[in-house]
Amino acid sequence: MLASYARALLPRRPARTGVVPERQLVVPAAPQDPLRIARYAELCGFPPEPAALPATYPHLLAFPHTLALLTRRDFPFPALGLVHLANRIERTRPIGADEPLGLRVALTAARPHRRGSAFDVVAEATAGGSEPVWRSVSTYLHRDRQAAPGPRPRPEQPQPGPLTERLTAPAGVGRRYAAVSGDRNPIHLHPLTARPFGFRRAIAHGMWAKARCLALLAGAEPLPDAFAVSVTFHAPLPLPSRAELRAGPRDAGRAFELRAADAGRVHLRGLVEPLALRS
């Protein structure tokens, strides 16, 4: 994995601006690693020996294949410096912690964004069949200073409720998550490695923050067997720091947000929605 990040520092071959190769990787089903699942569950706050995989866990299985696509020499943008804007995960049924999962990871074409170019990484997991039991869409931004800024979109946001939980992000959680996930982006590891990228402190992985919120929500009230959880990432969560999770009632969809402990800036906003259960 470190070799992949080293490749991310190599010069790019000349490429047409904004042209993302639409390609995919298909990985056959492989047995699960119980120790890795347990480490991930403990770090994110899920039950220590989950009968079903945490809904965010397959993202770890897809990550090395995502990185392989983003660090190919013909990929037009440097992987280091991409901004994770949003992530949506759909789980069509509970996935057993011992179920082998096959994967498909694909890139979509880039599209204009007011701050540059955006594109999606789509990952799907199958278990014992051709129909996906899990799907993730991660949206990334390549910033371009020459892009015309344009007005900031203000989509209607469901309003979360009062304080639900307090969340602590320890100084070393970026290194711990990197060890279990393989995502060793320097911005998450140490202030010294984050500083060249414009951060005074290391920042938490966005997917750790999402998983931590989901674990707290599940601990307060069980999640549906089939659901989607979408988040938009708004501001980095510096390490160490404290934050507040606020969540609305469980009805057609449960809105939530993670704010700084002083009720200041929003780190992420999300929504949990039930889906039709697949057998």
Among 94, 1, 88, CA closest to 51: 94
Average pLDDT over residues 85-90: 98
pTM: 0.89
Helix (H), strand (E) at residue 5: helix 2-8
CA angle 195, 212, 131 (to 5 degrees): 110
**Mean per-residue pLDDT for 8-35?**
73
272: helix, coil or strand?
Answer: strand
pLDDT at 181 over 60: yes
Higher-pLDDT residue of 160 and 81 is 81
Hey, how many other C-beta atoms are within 10 angstroms of the C-beta on 195? 14
The DSSP bridge pattern shows strands 266-274 and 24-30 to be unpaired
pLDDT confidence of residue 149: 59
Look over the chain and give the mean of its residue pLDDT values, rounded to a whole number: 88
Rounded distance between C-alpha atoms, residue 136 and residue 90, angstroms: 6
Rounded CA-CA distance 77/82 in Å is 8
Tell me: pLDDT of 90 over 60: yes
pLDDT, tens digit, 9 for 90 and up, residues 151-168 = 555 555 566 777 788 999
The answer to whether residue 2 scores a pLDDT higher than 50 is: no
Nearest residue to 70 (alpha-carbon basis) of 28, 125, 25, 104: 25
pLDDT reported for residue 28: 93
> Quick one: average pLDDT of 223-229?
94
Give per-residue pLDDT as tens, 92-141.
Answer: 999 999 999 999 999 999 999 988 999 999 999 999 877 899 999 999 99
- CB-count burial class (<10 Å; 0-12, 13-18, 19+) for 274: middle
The pLDDT of residue 43 is above 70: yes
